[in-house]
Amino acid sequence: MIQSMTGYGKATVELNDKKVNIEIKSLNSKALDLSTRLAPLYREKEMEIRNEIARRLERGKVDFNLWTDKKDAAAMATPINSELLVSYYKQVKDIHTLTGIPEPEDWFATLMRMPDVLTRIESTELNEEEWTAVYTGIEEAMAQLEAFRRQEGEALEKKFREKIANISRLLSEVEPFEKERVSKIRERIIESLEKVVGTDYDKNRLEQELIYYIEKLDINEEKQRLANHLNYFLETLSNGKGQGKKLGFIAQEMGREINTLGSKSNHAQMQNIVVQMKDELEQIKEQVLNVM
């Protein structure tokens, strides 16, 4: 079954002091266009994450986000570096004793503004146990996205088969007008010739010219090639994921044959049928861009 390039997955990993949130989403793209945003602690694993995403998702414009939330407000509060604050206090007191410069009126406000008194000290090392738990969450998010892609792919395949069936039906509707078209072309040429010339003409030579002209308007080859392309499209649909580009190429070939049918038709009803074929094919072309 084919897969769509559109997908979304999310997972949350509960650790002792925080929650790790993982979100991954993808849209259609000619190749893999990957963007990652990671919490600082996990940036050392960026290449490992990117390689796994590239291996599993293959194509698409993919956005990967990993961020953390503290579990409680107390843990989120920035700690006061009391040792540093006391050190600043002693230094200011010593300067006052040596120079006579007045002491601050509001000691606490002054000391709290000193460098690094309020500085969060984050862990800078990622231990293996935590990474194993987070990586499991990443795999879960990717599995959700892949399931989303398969579901979307199933809907796309159903739509494609419906559109191919419509084009095939329209192609069969062309046939009744073919003989009528040839007959009308013959009558129109003879009537025009008699009006212009007004005299007898070489009917054998006219017949030869008519045969040549009608052969130029023959659409049997185009009909056969279009039917072959329709069948090939359906066969390719059944080959599973990774067929998006191939399906796009087949749709282009279908378009060429339909355009030729239109240029050769020279018949109002046939041209109407061709317009309907083009409409069905255009919907296929729009959606095939989403196929991986």
Residue 64 · residue 34 · CB < 8 Å: yes
- Round the average pLDDT of the chain to a whole number and report it: 86
Condensed to tens digits (0 to 9), the pLDDT of residues 175-201 reads 887 767 666 766 766 666 666 655 565
Kindly state the average pLDDT of the residues 135-151.
96
Condensed to tens digits (0 to 9), the pLDDT of residues 94-105 reads 998 989 888 888
Q: Looking at per-residue confidence, does 178 or 145 come out higher?
A: 145
CATH 3.30.230 corresponds to the domain 7-74+133-150? yes
Other C-beta atoms within 10 Å of 200: how many?
Answer: 7
**Which CA distances in Å does 196 have to 14, 189, 190?**
91, 11, 10
Residue 52, sorted as left (phi over 0), alpha (psi -120 to 50) or beta, turns out to be: alpha
Both ends of the chain: CA-CA distance in Å?
Answer: 11
How many angstroms separate the CA atoms of 79 and 75, rounded? 9
Share of the chain above pLDDT 90, in %: 53
Q: What is the dihedral of CA 227, 230, 232, 233, to 10 degrees?
A: 170
What pLDDT does 151 receive? 95
Kindly state the average pLDDT of the residues 53-61.
92
- What residue ranges do the domains of the chain occupy? 7-74+133-150, 79-112, 151-288
Kindly state the average pLDDT of the residues 108-123.
76
Report DSSP letters for the chain, one per residue: ---BS-EEEEEEEE-SSEEEEEEEEEE--SSEEEEEEE-GGGGGGHHHHHHHHHHHH-SEEEEEEEEEEESSHHHHSPPB-HHHHHHHHHHHHHHHHHH-PPPPSSHHHHHHTSTTSB---------HHHHHHHHHHHHHHHHHHHHHHHHHHHHHHHHHHHHHHHHHHHHHHHHHHHHHHHHHHHHHHHHHHHHHH-S---HHHHHHHHHHHHHHT--HHHHHHHHHHHHHHHHHHTT-SS-HHHHHHHHHHHHHHHHHHHHHH-SHHHHHHHHHHHHHHHHHHHHHTTB-
Residue 260, amino acid = T
What pLDDT does 215 receive? 64
Degrees, nearest 5: CA angle 37-43-20: 65
